Amino acid sequence: MNPASDAMFDGEIFDKIRQQFDSAPYPSVPLERSPKDNIDLLYRHDLRTAYYTRDRQVVSTAGKTILDAGCGSGYNALVLAVANPDAEIVGVDLSETSVKMARDRLQYHGYTNATFHTLSIDDLPSLGLQFDYINCDEVLYLFPDIAQALRTLKAVLKPTGIIRSNLHSSVQRVTYFRAQEVFRLLGLLEGNPGELEMGIVSETFEALEDWVSVKQKTWTNVEERRKNNTDDVEFLLMNYLFQGDKGYTIDDMFAALEAAELEWIDMVNGPQWSLVDLFKNAENLPAFWAMGLPDAPIALQLRLKELLHPMHRLLDFWCGAPQGDRAIALPSEWSEAQWRNARVHLHPQLKTPQVYQALFRAIENHDAFAISQFIPSTQAKDVIFLKNPMSSCLLPLWDGPQTVQALIDRWLHIHPCNIITLEPTSAEQAFLEVTSMVTGLEARLYMLLEPS
């Protein structure tokens, strides 16, 4: 998890950052831990999620080449390998200690399609590779010029490739930056922070009154953290003694993308950035908001959300080279014939025995199926339920993609009549009910649609 190149850094701060991650590789995840059951994490690292978000096309991961830029101890590289079957993983990092850990991790879990290099991002062209997907996680905010860093990544990105990166939010993380300034003024960041400096941080917070703002907002969950066996060393270093840490705003993000001639695609946790969700009744907004919000630029909507409710530590986004004007027919624009012949895929990261068993239990117990439990949102109103028995239409998707017409036929078998009037379910009503379900799930990328 180290920045790219000493050419982009003041030499002193560069050395401090490299020393910090040589002595404390990040993240400090045990070698044997596997992400295979973490559906939400795999969903976010699956390149199919990003490509479908941009292109509304179902792609394969086989044969794709993925770069993990600043791979650190290799846990994200492992996540990328699990999430993207048969893709080639290439990891680079400046910390030789971290690169060795990453190589050992992938070998331990049996992945042979991964290579790692102790290399600066400036030197990526020397690999002679162009990448379909670049993961630059928890790195970009360490660069003094984030636009230049993005340009460097763009240079090794295929024309249709996608970059996932993120920045620390200066709004959400403001109290941590205040704490870092306290410890900088006390001289704790002059060298490579170790046990002495971490001890001073802990002693400082334990001695402060509980009502002190910086303690209230950054330290009050310390007991809960320790109860959950969170690594104290990592927590202290990454929050209070983090060399080169900086915060950015949504405006900074868009400015850097424009300077790098990259096109913003979406926020990785896009549904959680909905501005309208902050209002009690999205259908009855105050008049001023109702008139202006629908036509407001997305950058403005994201900035307002950031200011009103800064819930995200990271401004986590996808971007890529501009793709020009492309005619992408959204499902809302399809004809009935296109709908009936379209193929429905369950998102690959939901197509697991774990999800299948939960769905089966819900059907068996005549319960609604909370599909969003597997890819959770921090907004309570975003919990997505599928009513029983409509959720039974999902079962065939574990066998493979199904046409919408096949799901309609299944629904007619499951629900042949109105249980109140006993009138037969019409083909038209079945079409409307099934396409309404599919539309809702496709909007959240739980389902992926492939036009006929």
Backbone angles phi, psi at 316, to 5 degrees: -100, 120
Name the token pair of 46: 């699956």
Pick 280 or 16 by higher pLDDT.
280
In three-state secondary structure terms, 269 is coil
What average pLDDT does this structure show over 112-141? 93
Q: Which tokens belong to 108?
A: 């331990």
Q: What is the model's pLDDT at position 329?
A: 82
Q: Is residue 6's pLDDT more than 50? A: no
If you average pLDDT over residues 272-286, what whole number do you get? Answer: 91
pLDDT at 231 over 80: no
Q: Which residues have CB under 8 Å from 249's CB, separation 6+?
A: 169, 170, 171, 303, 306, 315
Instruction: Please check the confidence at residue 229 and state whether its pLDDT lies above 80.
Output: no
Round to whole Å and give the CA distance between 45 and 41.
Answer: 6
CA distance 218 to 215: 5
The pLDDT of residue 418: 81
Residues paired with 95 in a beta bridge: none
Provide the residue ranges of all domains of the chain, joining segments of one domain with +. 6-171+247-269+312-320, 174-239, 331-450
Alpha carbons 342 and 351: distance in angstroms, whole number: 19
Split at pLDDT 50, 70, 90, the class of 121 is confident
Neighbours of 277 (CB within 10 A): 16
| Residue 309 DSSP one-character state | -
202: CB partners within 8 A, 6+ apart: 232, 236
Look up residue 18 and give its two tokens: 């490299």
Cα–Cα dist 261/405, whole Å: 42
Per-residue confidence (pLDDT) for residue 397, from 0 to 100: 97
Structure pTM? 0.92
Tell me what the pLDDT averaged over the chain comes to: 91
Nearest to 326 by CA among 385, 272, 263: 263
Q: What is the pLDDT of residues 141-194, one digit of tens each?
A: 999 899 999 999 999 999 999 999 999 999 999 999 999 999 999 999 998 899
CATH topology of domain 6-171+247-269+312-320: Rossmann fold (3.40.50)
